[in-house]
């Protein structure tokens, strides 16, 4: 039997050194008694002399354990369970044979160790949550002192959090086992103290209790949910806990009262604090693009308006001779409220620049003015508008064209062709034909720039891009001829 | 009016906002000897009220005076509640005083609309600005955003806040028009869209040295459940739409609760807490379990109150079962009733080393009664129960147990 005496309850270094040596000597876990010097933990083998540091047994080859195990051991060793050293040693023996043994996450030993680590982490988390500082006037000025009773040996592990958070305060956290102090620069640990050494009140606690009582909703009493997150053992050190019982006792009456008294008459002098009426914006003449845009902003002529963010109306000078019509706004356009500002818009802008068309001199709009999509997790998948949606939105497009009276309309993609001509046809056909809009304006058809973004084949992409530029050069020539 | 009384009124007025999250923001903390506060990714609940809700932030209104008359709201213009207003300096001091004593993670500040949206938003932003700049405060700040506020104010809010939120309040435009006549869904959506563009921009510039900070904990929203006749299906449709459109971190569901001074136009009754709970479960299925809205929900677009939505789905789709826990891909494991996403990861890790058997499930403390009819294990095949009419009845709670969770 080997008796290993560690110098402290959380002495991870001592444990590691001993465990490494014993494992290399192939010592059976059942033959080791792990104890903490001077601890009250029962020491059945107290009569045995501590094993000599350098045992004579031959050592096997060195071996490594996964990094995850070291992290686990550092946490588990903070647990109060006296078996923790032995369980960790069992795991080491397991890892010596099988480096991946920790990943067998339903193995009883792995489950047990993970469970211990979880309670330790929870205890640290609860300490971060439930410590309540009280102010004490000292010679050095205001100091914040708290009393806390952790379940495990976690004070040292929990302390750096308070140092980061309360960096500019002087504070102490007193516990029965150890205490920790911060002077603004250095964390210092000291012995545990009696509860009576901690301050018993703070001037802010009345306010805190008032807040606690006010934020509670008596119509939603769920005592179990509270108890599982804030077990009774913490209550004696929480200033607000004295309210729990009275709040629960009154809750039912209060919520019954609220229901019974529910129907109160509206306040005869309602709260309207100096309502400032916004200055009416400059009234646009009817029949202007701006008036049309405003009228379209609440459009519900088809169902697409409800799930979308906003109507994305056309944009450009009213005397633009050339109108570009796309399919519909995409994700970015829907968010920004402007046409052709997303990835396809960038392709479009670059192409315009290449052929020498100033986007600021043309009018850009869409056949359908709301984004049609289906949500998929954190994204939206574009959906093609159907004929009735195109039809419903033609109402706006017609009015835009009637105001603008363009000399040339450019349809970007099939949806625009469909909308502008009212005819179904393939894009290839549309590109080769001399077309007119239903309003009688000359119409030139080309691809939608997003088509170029979808082409996987580079050679084909280059070819199609060149053709797109060729179409736009015809538009540019037309613009310059005017 | 003294602080005690003011705090009582303005916290009471704020409690119908469900969110108290303080998680998911960037890691930051005060430098030694200078400033105060930290956020470390994981939020902390500093206390719990007997309603089971976490108290993480000081959740108050700047003022509960309001020009709007939203019928479901305790602070509506026509309500008879007493009114109060904090000054900017008062909230700043209260936040710091509470924070120093470790009562809270930070501040969640909202406000009734007074004078005009920009004036109100300006006041809200001034609190956050003073905390950050005058006091070196590094704790968590959640600001309620007023949809009609100006671009410049929203940008400034994002500079100081960790999270911004705008409540959609009700699932349909019609309900909002009826119950909150001054609010407008288009305006709410436009601002959520603006926020998303700014959030995306900040994220894409994160690696740059002088990237402008913008609400690193993102945006969230809240919907009130049970104040109007909307179905669970339409609620979840809107949630999926909002998650997809504006990348919300969370949609909160808040069961409409009787308020001390409620409107004549709303039926006074106990809040539908179980319905709210089922909606949260369904929301989780959408976000973490690969479900689509169209798969969730039963008759009339409502979720089953007796059993959780995943179990309801499994009972309605028995041809998809049994699932072999030793072989099925992750997506199928995630659809098994009683398996959470963490358990699924554990099983996937463990089955590389062993054949999963019934004992292993006991070891993991899984709900066997719910689970076993749907799975195949090394030593278990489901009985004919899976095809039996009785299964549904067996898995439903007995009538005596049908109570709201206490």
pLDDT in tens, A413-462: 999 999 999 999 999 999 999 899 999 999 999 999 999 999 999 999 99
pLDDT digits (tens, 9 = 90+) for B281-320: 999 999 999 999 999 977 789 999 999 999 999 999 999 9
Determine which of B36-50, B52-66, B103-117, B201-215 has the lowest per-residue pLDDT on average: B201-215
Minimal CA–CA distance to B40: which of B54, B22, B20, B57? B22
Residues from chain A contacting residue B53 (CB–CB below 8 Å): 215, 217, 220, 222, 225
Instruction: Please state the rounded mean pLDDT for residues A387-403.
Output: 96
Per-residue model confidence (pLDDT) at position A414: 96
Per-residue model confidence (pLDDT) at position B192: 97
- Residue A322, classified by CB atoms within 10 Å of its CB into exposed (0-12), middle (13-18) or buried (19+), is buried
**Looking at the partner chain, which of B3, B29, B406 has a beta carbon nearest the beta carbon of A164?**
B29
Q: What is the DSSP string of A406-468?
A: -SEEEEESHHHHHHHH-----HHHHHHS-EE-TTS-EEEEE--THHHHH---HHHHHHHHHHH
Structure confidence at residue B402 as a pLDDT band (50, 70, 90): very low
Is the per-residue pLDDT at A239 higher than 60? yes
**B59 in A contact zone (CB under 8 Å):** yes
Q: Is A258 in Cβ contact with B55 (below 8 Å)?
A: no
Determine which of A82-86, B221-225, B270-274 has the lowest per-residue pLDDT on average: B270-274
Q: Minimal Cα distance from B201: which residue of A? A: A332
| CATH topology assigned to domain B3-262 | TIM Barrel (3.20.20)
Q: What is the DSSP string of B290-327?
A: ---GGGS--GGG---SSS-HHHHHHHHTGGG--EETTT
**Looking at the partner chain, which of A166, A251, A278 has a beta carbon nearest the beta carbon of B50?**
A251
Q: Is A310 in Cβ contact with B186 (below 8 Å)?
A: yes
Q: Is A161 in Cβ contact with B46 (below 8 Å)?
A: no
Determine which of A272-276, B238-242, B346-350 has the lowest per-residue pLDDT on average: A272-276
Q: Is A167 in Cβ contact with B33 (below 8 Å)?
A: yes
Q: If you average pLDDT over every residue of chain A, what do you get? A: 91
**Looking at the partner chain, which of A132, A258, A379 has a beta carbon nearest the beta carbon of B259?**
A258
Residue pair B85/B94 in contact by the 8 Å Cβ criterion: no
Is the per-residue pLDDT at A121 higher than 90? yes
CA distance A212 to A194: 28
Angle at A406 between CA A405 and CA A409, to 5 degrees: 130
Using left for φ > 0, alpha for ψ between -120 and 50, and beta otherwise, residue A366 falls in: beta
Q: Is A217 in Cβ contact with B16 (below 8 Å)?
A: yes
Q: If you average pLDDT over every residue of chain B, what do you get? A: 91
**Looking at the partner chain, which of B14, B83, B241 has a beta carbon nearest the beta carbon of A271?**
B83
Q: Is B116 in Cβ contact with A229 (below 8 Å)?
A: no
By three-state DSSP, how is residue A197 classified?
helix
Question: How many angstroms separate the CA of residue B405 from the nearest CA in chain A?
Answer: 7
Q: Which residues sit opposite B29 in a β-bridge?
A: B38
- Residue B399, classified by CB atoms within 10 Å of its CB into exposed (0-12), middle (13-18) or buried (19+), is exposed
Residue B189 parent element (H or E) = helix B185-204
Greater model confidence, B23 or A261: B23
Question: How many angstroms separate the CA of residue B386 from the nearest CA in chain A?
Answer: 26
Structure confidence at residue B351 as a pLDDT band (50, 70, 90): very high
Per-residue model confidence (pLDDT) at position A6: 93
Structure confidence at residue A56 as a pLDDT band (50, 70, 90): low
**B354 in A contact zone (CB under 8 Å):** yes
Instruction: Please state the rounded mean pLDDT for residues A221-247.
Output: 95
Q: How many CB atoms lie within 10 A of CB A358?
A: 9
For chain A, give the percent of residues with pLDDT over 70. 91
Residues from chain B contacting residue A250 (CB–CB below 8 Å): none
DSSP state of B377: B
Determine which of A236-245, A263-272, B356-365 has the lowest per-residue pLDDT on average: A263-272
Per-residue model confidence (pLDDT) at position B211: 81
Residues from chain B contacting residue A129 (CB–CB below 8 Å): 44-47
CA distance A383 to A330: 10
**Looking at the partner chain, which of A163, A259, A261 has a beta carbon nearest the beta carbon of B269?**
A259
- The domain ranges of chain A are 2-125, 131-197, 205-254, 289-481
Q: Is A225 in Cβ contact with B67 (below 8 Å)?
A: no
Interface of B with A in 117-156 (CB under 8 A): 119, 136
pLDDT digits (tens, 9 = 90+) for B74-129: 899 988 899 999 999 999 999 999 999 999 999 999 999 999 999 999 999 999 99
- The domain ranges of chain B are 3-262, 312-398
Residue pair A36/A45 in contact by the 8 Å Cβ criterion: no
Per-residue model confidence (pLDDT) at position B382: 86
pLDDT digits (tens, 9 = 90+) for A9-19: 999 999 999 99
Query: Quick one: CA dihedral A441, A446, A451, A453, positive or negative?
Result: negative
Torsion over CA of B126, B132, B136 and B137, rounded to 10 degrees? Answer: 110
Residues from chain B contacting residue A306 (CB–CB below 8 Å): 173
Per-residue model confidence (pLDDT) at position B270: 77
**B11 in A contact zone (CB under 8 Å):** yes
Structure confidence at residue A283 as a pLDDT band (50, 70, 90): low
pLDDT digits (tens, 9 = 90+) for A160-197: 999 999 999 999 999 999 999 999 889 999 999 999 99
**Looking at the partner chain, which of A133, A225, A336 has a beta carbon nearest the beta carbon of B197?**
A336
Minimal CA–CA distance to A409: which of A329, A326, A289? A326
For chain B, give the percent of residues with pLDDT over 70. 97
CA distance B274 to B405: 8
Residue pair A217/B104 in contact by the 8 Å Cβ criterion: no
Q: Is B349 in Cβ contact with A259 (below 8 Å)?
A: no
> What's the number of CA atoms in the CB half-sphere (13 Å) around residue B221?
29
Instruction: Please state the rounded mean pLDDT for residues B187-207.
Output: 93
Query: Quick one: CA dihedral B194, B199, B205, B210, positive or negative?
Result: positive
Minimal CA–CA distance to B105: which of A179, A89, A436, A161? A161
Residues from chain B contacting residue A375 (CB–CB below 8 Å): 240-241, 243-245
CA distance B381 to B376: 5
State the angle between helix axes of A289-296 and A387-404 in degrees (0 to 180), rounded to the nearest 10.
Answer: 160
Among A109, A164, A252, A334, the residue to mutate for chain B (most B Cβ within 10 A): A164
Per-residue model confidence (pLDDT) at position B401: 47
Q: Minimal Cα distance from B240: which residue of A? A: A375
CA distance A328 to A312: 8
Structure confidence at residue B206 as a pLDDT band (50, 70, 90): confident
Question: How many angstroms separate the CA of residue A372 from the nearest CA in chain B?
Answer: 12
Determine which of A327-331, B106-110, B201-205, B274-278 has the lowest per-residue pLDDT on average: B201-205
A289-481 CATH, one of 3.20.20.10, 3.40.50.620, 3.30.470.20, 3.40.470.10: 3.40.470.10
Q: How many CB atoms lie within 10 A of CB B22?
A: 27
Structure confidence at residue A271 as a pLDDT band (50, 70, 90): low
Q: Is B3 in Cβ contact with A207 (below 8 Å)?
A: yes
Instruction: Please state the rounded mean pLDDT for residues A38-53.
Output: 57
**B177 in A contact zone (CB under 8 Å):** no
Among B50, B192, B340, the residue to mutate for chain A (most A Cβ within 10 A): B50
- Residue A456, classified by CB atoms within 10 Å of its CB into exposed (0-12), middle (13-18) or buried (19+), is exposed
**pTM for the predicted model, two decimal places:** 0.92
**Looking at the partner chain, which of B4, B29, B173 has a beta carbon nearest the beta carbon of A206?**
B4
Q: Is B97 in Cβ contact with A276 (below 8 Å)?
A: no
Q: Minimal Cα distance from A312: which residue of B? A: B190
Question: How many angstroms separate the CA of residue A111 from the nearest CA in chain B?
Answer: 8
Size of interface A-B (CB pairs under 8 A): 287
Q: Is B51 in Cβ contact with A226 (below 8 Å)?
A: yes
Instruction: Please state the rounded mean pLDDT for residues B189-214.
Output: 91
Per-residue model confidence (pLDDT) at position B405: 46
CA distance A268 to A459: 74
CA distance A226 to A211: 17
Residue A107, φ and ψ in degrees, nearest 5: -60, 135
Residues from chain A contacting residue B240 (CB–CB below 8 Å): 375
**B203 in A contact zone (CB under 8 Å):** no
A288-291 long-range contacts (CB < 8 A, ≥24 apart) are A288/A318, A288/A403, A289/A313, A289/A314, A289/A318, A289/A400, A289/A403, A289/A404
Q: Minimal Cα distance from A172: which residue of B? A: B101
**Looking at the partner chain, which of B65, B245, B270 has a beta carbon nearest the beta carbon of A309?**
B245
**Looking at the partner chain, which of B32, B46, B356 has a beta carbon nearest the beta carbon of A184?**
B32
Instruction: Please state the rounded mean pLDDT for residues B390-406.
Output: 67
Q: Is A258 in Cβ contact with B258 (below 8 Å)?
A: yes
Q: Are strands A187-191 and A178-182 parallel, antiparallel or unpaired?
A: antiparallel
Q: Minimal Cα distance from A214: which residue of B? A: B12
Instruction: Please state the rounded mean pLDDT for residues A212-220.
Output: 94
Q: Is A306 in Cβ contact with B116 (below 8 Å)?
A: no
Question: How many angstroms separate the CA of residue A336 from the nearest CA in chain B?
Answer: 7
Residues from chain A contacting residue B269 (CB–CB below 8 Å): 259
Q: Is B356 in Cβ contact with A128 (below 8 Å)?
A: no
Per-residue model confidence (pLDDT) at position B119: 96
Is the per-residue pLDDT at B389 higher than 70? yes
pLDDT digits (tens, 9 = 90+) for B311-343: 999 999 999 999 999 999 999 999 999 999 999
Determine which of A173-177, A350-354, B380-384 has the lowest per-residue pLDDT on average: B380-384
Q: Minimal Cα distance from B356: which residue of A? A: A106
**B356 in A contact zone (CB under 8 Å):** yes
CA distance A295 to A299: 7
Torsion over CA of A441, A446, A450 and A451, rounded to 10 degrees? Answer: 150
């Amino acid at each position: 039997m080997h008796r290993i005496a560690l110098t402290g309850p959380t002495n991870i270094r001592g444990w590691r050194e001993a465990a490494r040596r014993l494992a290399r000597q192939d010592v059976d876990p059942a033959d080791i008694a792990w104890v903490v010097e001077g601890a009250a933990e029962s020491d059945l083998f107290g009569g045995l002399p501590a094993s000599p540091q350098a045992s004579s047994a031959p050592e096997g080859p060195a071996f490594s354990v996964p990094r995850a195990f070291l992290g686990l051991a550092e946490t588990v060793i903070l647990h109060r369970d006296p078996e923790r050293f032995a369980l960790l040693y069992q795991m080491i023996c397991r890892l010596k044979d099988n480096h991946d043994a920790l990943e067998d996450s339903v193995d009883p030993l792995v489950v047990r160790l993970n469970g211990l680590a979880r309670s330790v982490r929870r205890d640290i988390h609860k300490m971060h949550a439930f410590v309540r500082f009280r102010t004490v006037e000292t010679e050095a000025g205001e100091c914040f002192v708290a009393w806390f009773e952790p379940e495990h040996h976690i004070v040292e592990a929990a302390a750096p959090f308070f140092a980061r958070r309360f960096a500019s305060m002087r504070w102490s956290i007193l516990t029965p086992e150890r205490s920790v102090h911060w002077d603004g620069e250095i964390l210092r640990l000291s012995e545990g103290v009696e509860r009576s050494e901690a301050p018993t009140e703070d001037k802010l606690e009345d306010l805190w209790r008032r807040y606690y009582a006010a934020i509670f909703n008596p119509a939603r009493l769920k005592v179990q949910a509270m108890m599982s997150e804030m077990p009774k053992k913490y209550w004696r050190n929480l200033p607000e806990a004295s309210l729990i019982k009275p709040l629960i006792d009154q809750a039912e009456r209060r919520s019954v009262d609220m229901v019974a008294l529910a129907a109160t008459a509206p306040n005869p002098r309602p709260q309207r604090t100096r309502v400032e009426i916004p200055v009416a914006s400059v009234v646009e003449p009817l029949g202007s693009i701006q008036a049309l845009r405003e009228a379209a902003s609440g459009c519900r002529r088809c169902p697409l308006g409800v799930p979308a963010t906003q109507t994305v109306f056309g944009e450009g000078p009213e005397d633009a001779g050339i109108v570009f019509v796309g399919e519909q706004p995409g994700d970015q356009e829907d968010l920004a409220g402007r046409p052709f500002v997303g990835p396809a818009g960038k392709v479009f802008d670059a192409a315009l620049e290449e052929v020498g068309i100033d986007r600021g001199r043309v009018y850009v709009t869409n056949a359908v003015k709301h984004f049609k999509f289906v949500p998929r997790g954190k994204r939206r998948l574009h959906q093609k508008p159907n004929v009735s949606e195109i039809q419903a939105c033609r109402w706006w497009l017609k009015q835009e064209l009637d105001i603008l009276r363009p000399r040339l309309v450019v349809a970007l993609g099939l949806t625009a062709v469909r909308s502008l001509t009212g005819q179904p046809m393939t894009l290839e056909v549309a590109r080769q034909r001399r077309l007119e809009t239903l309003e009688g304006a000359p119409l030139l058809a080309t691809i939608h720039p997003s088509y170029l973004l979808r082409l996987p084949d580079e050679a084909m992409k280059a070819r199609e891009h060149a053709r797109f530029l060729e179409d736009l050069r015809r538009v540019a020539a037309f613009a310059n001829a005017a | 009016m003294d602080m005690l009384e003011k705090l009582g009124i303005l916290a009471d007025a704020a409690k119908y906002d469900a969110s108290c999250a303080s998680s998911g923001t960037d890691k930051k903390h005060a430098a030694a000897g200078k400033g105060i506060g930290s956020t470390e990714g994981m939020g902390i609940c500093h206390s719990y009220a007997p309603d089971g809700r976490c108290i993480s932030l000081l959740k108050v209104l700047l003022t509960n005076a309001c020009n709007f008359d939203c019928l479901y709201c305790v602070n509506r213009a026509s309500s008879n509640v007493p009114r109060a207003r904090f000054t900017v300096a008062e909230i700043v001091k209260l936040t710091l005083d509470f924070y120093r004593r470790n009562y809270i993670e930070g501040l969640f500040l909202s406000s009734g609309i007074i004078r005009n949206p920009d004036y109100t938003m300006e006041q809200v932003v001034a609190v956050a600005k003073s905390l950050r700049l005058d006091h070196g405060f590094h704790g968590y700040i959640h600001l309620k955003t007023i949809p009609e506020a100006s671009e410049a104010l929203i940008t400034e809010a994002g500079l100081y806040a960790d999270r911004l939120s705008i409540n959609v309040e009700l699932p349909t435009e019609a309900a909002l028009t009826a119950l909150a006549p001054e609010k407008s869904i288009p305006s709410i959506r436009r601002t959520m869209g603006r926020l998303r563009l700014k959030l995306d921009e900040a994220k894409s510039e994160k690696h740059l040295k002088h990237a402008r900070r913008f609400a690193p904990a993102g945006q969230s929203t809240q919907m009130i459940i049970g104040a109007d006749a909307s179905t669970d299906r339409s609620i979840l449709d809107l949630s999926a739409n909002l998650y997809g459109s504006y990348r919300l971190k969370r949609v909160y569901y808040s069961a409409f609760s009787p308020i001390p001074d409620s409107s004549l136009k709303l039926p006074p009754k106990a809040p539908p807490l179980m319905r709210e709970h089922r909606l949260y479960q369904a929301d989780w299925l959408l976000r973490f379990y690969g479900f689509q809205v169209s798969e969730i929900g039963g008759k009339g677009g409502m979720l089953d109150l007796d059993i959780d939505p995943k179990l309801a789905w499994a009972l309605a789709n028995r041809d998809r079962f049994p699932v072999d826990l030793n072989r099925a891909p992750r997506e199928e494991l995630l659809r098994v009733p009683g398996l959470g996403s963490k358990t699924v990861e554990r099983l996937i890790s463990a089955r590389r080393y062993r054949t999963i058997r019934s004992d292993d499930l006991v070891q993991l403390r899984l709900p066997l009664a719910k689970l076993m009819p749907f799975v195949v294990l090394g030593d278990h095949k489901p009985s004919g129960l899976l095809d039996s009419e009785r299964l549904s009845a067996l898995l439903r709670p007995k009538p005596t147990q049908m109570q709201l969770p206490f």
